[in-house]
Structure 1
Amino acid sequence: MSHSQPSRRSFIKSAAGAVAAPFILPSRIWSAETAPNSRINLGFIGVGKMNSGHLGNFLGRESVQVVAVCDVDTNRRENAKKRVDDTYGKQAGTEYKGCSAYNDFRELLARKDIDAVVIATPDHWHAYIGIAAVRAGKDVYGEKPLTHNVHEALTLTKAVRDSGRIFQTGSQQRSSKEFRVAAELVRNGVIGDIKTITTSFGDPAPVYNLPEEAAEPGLDWDLWCGPGPLKPYNSILSPRGVHTHFPKWRDTREFGGGMITDWGAHHIDIAQWALGVDESGPVEVRAAQGKDAKRGAQLVYANGVVLTHETGKGVSIYGTEGEIHVNRGKFELILGGKTVHKFFDKAVDKGTSLDREVILTEREFLKDAKVKLYDSKNHHDDWLNSIKTRERPICDVAVGATTVISCHLMNMSYYSGTSFKWNPTERTFAEGGDPKWLTRDYRGEWVV
C-alpha cells in the first residue's frame, strides 16, 4: 500500500462504520425450509477464473447469500458484482443491488454481517488473507495450495486453531469417490504392503523474468504484489480484463510454486491420505538427478515408502499384491498382475463407467473394511455443513498444511539441487537444508 493511504487500523475502523446493511432478498424466493436469518452471508476475495467457478456454485444455493466480492482489478470485481446482482435480481423478479465490491480485502473483512469468505487469490496472498479472515471471525474456504511457504502453513494453522473458525482447504479431490475408494483400498491392505508411489504433474517454478508492460488501467498492482516483491507489471500474471483461463503467476517462485504446488497439491494430498500421514509427512527428500531436472524428486516416509514425481497416470500406488492408479474421472485396480476394475479411457473402456467400476470395487473389496475414511460427496457442501456443526471439514487447515509442506519440500530440492532430512513432528530440517527456505522476505506491512 502507498503511504498516502490510511493505516490498517484506521482503514478497518472507518470501513466497518461506513458499511450499510446489505439488501436482503424477499423471503418468497427462498424455500420454506430456509429461513432468511439462517442463510450464511458470503464474501469472495479474488474473483478470477477459480473463484468464478466457486461463485457460480454458491449463487445456486438457497442456504447462502453472496453479499460482497473483492478484487484488485476493477474489471473483475465489477463483473463479479454484476453477476451476483443479476442472478439474485432474476430470482427475485426485481432489480437487485445488494452486492458490494471492494478493492481491499480488509474492507470486506471489516463487515460484521459477513459470516464466511471464499479466498482464491494468487498463492502469495493465501496465508495473509486467511489469517486476517479467521481473526475477523470468518469461516474460510481457502484455495490450495494452502500457503506460499512452510512458515505460512504453520502460522495459518495456529491462527485457525486459536480463532476456533472453520477452514476448508480447496483440495476437492478428497470429496471425489474414486480418490476416497483408492485411499481406502490402500489403508485396508487390499494391494498388500505399499512400496512405492508415483505422482504425475508438471514442472517446478522458475524465477520471475517477464518483461515490463504498460500498467493495466484499473489494476492496483502494488496491492496485487502484496507480500511478494514489487515486480514490473506483466499481463501474464494478472491478465487484462475479465479472463477465462488460469494465469501464469503459478509459474513464478515469487508468487506461486509451479505445478508442484498446483497439481502436486492435489495428487500428493491423495497419496498422503492413502498412507495415513496427514498429521506428519515425509522424513527425507531426495533431489532429482541431473542439472535443472524437472522430474525425479522423491519424498521418503517413515515406513520406507518412496513417492516419486514422474510423468504418469496421476496417482499410482504400488504394493506387494497389486497396484492402484487414480486420477480425476479415472480409476484402475490391478491385483496379481491382472486388471480387476478399470475406467481410465472412455475410448478404450467402453461398456462401463467410472461410477460402475468404483462402486463394484467398493462392494467387492471394502464391504467389511476395518478402515473407513471420511466420506464427503461435495467439497462445498462439506464446508457449509462444518460451518453449521462446527466440526472440522474433510480437508481441514491442518491437512492442507501437511500437504503443502510436502510440496514445498519437493520444490526446495528442485530449486537447490540438494537432498535433506526432515523432521515432520517439529516441521523443520533434521539434516541439511537451509532455514531461510522455510519462509520469504516480506514487503512492507504484509508480514506473516
Structure 2
Amino acid sequence: MPHKHASRRRFLTAAAASAAAPFILPGRIWSAETQPSARLRMGFIGMGTQSRGLLNKFLGDESVIVLAVCDVDTDRRNAAKETVDKKYENKDCKAVNDFREITESKDFDAVCIATPDHWHAVISISALANGKDVYCEKPLTHNVHEAVAVTAVARQHNRVLQTGSMQRSSSEFRIACELVRNGVIGEVKRVETSFGDPAKPNANPEEPLQPGLDWDRWCGPGPLVPYSSVLSPRGVHKGFPQWRMTREFGGGMITDWGAHHIDIAHWGLNVDGSGPVEVKAPAEWDSPKARGAQLIYANGVVLTHVNGKGCSFFGTEGEVHVNRGKFELVLDGKRRFGFWDKEVDKGTSLQREYTLAEREFLANAKVKLYNSKDQIQDFLTCVKSRQQPVCDVAIGASSAIACHLMNFAYWYGGSFKWDPAKSNFVSGGDPKWLTREYRGEYKVA
C-alpha cells in the first residue's frame, strides 16, 4: 500500500503529546457527534486463536459488517477471509498484511485488535487517531508509557475503547464486587489474586523461517529476534502461543491472567483509573515460579500475588472469593453461599448461589455496578450511544499498569513508591522500566 506519511505523522505527534497526560474518568456520556453508518464497518487485526472467537461473535451481530482482516501469517489471514466470505456469501472481504490499510482508511468505523501484546498500543493509537472506535484485547498495553498514551489519544479524539477484560461482563464477578463495595464483608484489609508465572527474556532457539510469514512485521516495534514457532506457530492453530511468556512481547501470566483478576480487584476496591501507591518485591523475586509480589493502595489495602482461588477479598467481617464459574461468600467464618467445586457443591449451581447472595445482601444496595451482560454487545451499544463501556480505556490502562508494576517487582526486585495520578515513581524504581526501545517506524513517542 502507499505510505500515508501525513496520517502517520499525526498519529506519532498525538502519541508524543499524550505521554505525560493523567488518566481521566469523565462522565458516562460524551457530547453528541457524528454517528456511524447503519451497519458498523469493522476491520480485524491479528487473526489467531483469540480473534477467531471474537470474529465469530461480531459476525453474529447484524449491526456489524466485517470488511477486512489483517495478519502477518498468510494462512491465518486467508482462513479469516474465508470465514467472513462464507458468512456473507461473497468474496468481498479484504485480507491485508499491513494494519494501516485498515486503521488509516475511511472505509472503517471500528477495529478489533487481538495481536500479541507488543502491538496493542501502536495499532490502537493509529486507529483512534484516525477516528476509529476500538475493541482491544487485554492487557491493553505492553508497558506503562503506552497505557498513558493510548488513554490520552482515545480521550483527545472522543473514541470508544473497550478492553477485552470480559470478566466484567460476568455476573459472578459483578456481584462479588458489589458485595465488597457495599460493605457486606466489612472493611477490606487485603486482596489475594491467583495466576501463573512472570515472563522471562526470550531464549527460544532459532528455527528455519518458512514462506508465508512476515516475521519482521510480526516483531514490529519489538526487537527482531530469531524466528521460533514457540512465539508464532505457523498457520491456523488452536493454542495460545508462548510469546506471552517473554518480556519482549508479553508480560507472562502477570499480564495475561493478572490483567483479568487484578482488574476485578480494582473494580471491587473502587480504584478504577487509579492504582497502587507502593510495590513490594518478594524475597525470592527472581525465582521462575515466584509469588508474593504486593501492590499497596492508598487506603492501606494490600494485594498479594499468590497460588489461591482467583480473586479473593478479605474484610473485617468476611470473605468473597470469585473466579470463572466460581463464587463464595463467607461471613463470620461460615460459608453462606458458594459454588466452587461441582463435585462438592452438588444440588446447587453458580447462578443460584450468587443470586441468593444478591437477594439477601444487595436488595437495597447503595452501590450498583455497571451491569454488562456481554463484553462485545456492550461495546457495540456504546459505539451507538457514545457512552463509556464497562472496561473503558482508562480502566483497561490502569489495570494493565498495575500488572506492569507487579512485573517490575519480579524482573528487577523492585520495591518502590508510585504516583498513580502521574504514572511515575515517587521513590525507587527506574524510569527506563516504564517504556521500551522501539524498533523502526513503529513508535509510541
After TM superposition, give the deviation of residue 291 of structure 1 in Å. 5.0
Inter-CA distance 353–215: structure 2 relative to 1 (3 Å threshold): same
Residue 44 (structure 1) aligns with = 44
Query: Is the CA contact (8 Å cut-off) linking 1:198 and 1:315 kept in structure 2?
Result: yes
Residue 216 (structure 2) aligns with = 222
Which residue of 314, 317, 324 maps to 1:318? 314
SS in 2 for 1:303: coil
The normalised TM-score by structure 2 is 0.92
After TM superposition, give the deviation of residue 10 of structure 1 in Å. 8.3
Residue 9 (structure 1) aligns with = 5
1:233-270 per-residue CA deviation (whole Å, 9 max, x = no partner) reads: 00111101111110000010000000000000000000
Following superposition, which runs of at least 4 residues in structure 1 exceed 4 angstroms of deviation? 5-8, 10-13
**2:335 matched to 1:339?**
yes
After TM superposition, give the deviation of residue 111 of structure 1 in Å. 2.6
Distance 2:336 2:57 in 1: 36
1:56-82 per-residue CA deviation (whole Å, 9 max, x = no partner) reads: 111111111111100000000000000
After TM superposition, give the deviation of residue 279 of structure 1 in Å. 2.4
Residue 28 (structure 2) aligns with = none
After TM superposition, give the deviation of residue 216 of structure 1 in Å. 2.5
Distance 1:157 1:290 in 2: 34
Distance 1:381 1:6 in 2: 35
Percent identity over the alignment?
Answer: 64
Residue 389 (structure 2) aligns with = 393
Residue 17 (structure 1) aligns with = none
Query: Is the CA contact (8 Å cut-off) linking 2:175 and 2:354 kept in structure 1?
Result: yes
Specify every segment of 5 or more residues in structure 2 that has no aligned partner in the other structure, as ranges. 10-35
Specify every segment of 5 or more residues in structure 1 that has no aligned partner in the other structure, as ranges. 14-35, 90-95
Query: Is the CA contact (8 Å cut-off) linking 1:282 and 1:301 kept in structure 2?
Result: yes
Residue 365 (structure 1) aligns with = 361
Taking only aligned residues, the RMSD between alpha carbons, in angstroms, comes to 1.5
Query: Is the CA contact (8 Å cut-off) linking 2:103 and 2:123 kept in structure 1?
Result: no
Distance 1:407 1:301 in 2: 14
Query: Is the CA contact (8 Å cut-off) linking 2:104 and 2:126 kept in structure 1?
Result: no
Residue 305 (structure 1) aligns with = 301
Inter-CA distance 276–291: structure 2 relative to 1 (3 Å threshold): closer
Distance 2:103 2:376 in 1: 21
Inter-CA distance 158–11: structure 2 relative to 1 (3 Å threshold): closer
After TM superposition, give the deviation of residue 418 of structure 1 in Å. 2.5
Distance 1:265 1:216 in 2: 33
Residue 73 (structure 1) aligns with = 73
> Which structure ranks higher in relative contact order (CA pairs < 8 Å, sequence separation ≥ 6)?
2
* Of 349-358 and 123-132, the range deviating more from structure 2: 349-358
Distance 2:313 2:7 in 1: 51
Query: Is the CA contact (8 Å cut-off) linking 1:41 and 1:67 kept in structure 2?
Result: yes
**2:428 matched to 1:428?**
no
Which residue of 261, 268, 278 maps to 1:267? 261
Distance 2:240 2:194 in 1: 19
**2:137 matched to 1:143?**
yes
Give the residue type in structure 1 aligned to 2:44.
F
Residue 29 (structure 1) aligns with = none
Tell which structure's C-alpha radius of gyration is larger.
1
Distance 1:54 1:226 in 2: 23
Residue 134 (structure 1) aligns with = 128
Distance 1:313 1:192 in 2: 20
Which residue of 104, 117, 130 maps to 2:98? 104
* Of 431-440 and 418-427, the range deviating more from structure 2: 418-427
Query: Is the CA contact (8 Å cut-off) linking 2:116 and 2:250 kept in structure 1?
Result: yes
Q: Show the 5 A alignment for 1:53-202.
A: 53-89=53-89, 96-202=90-196
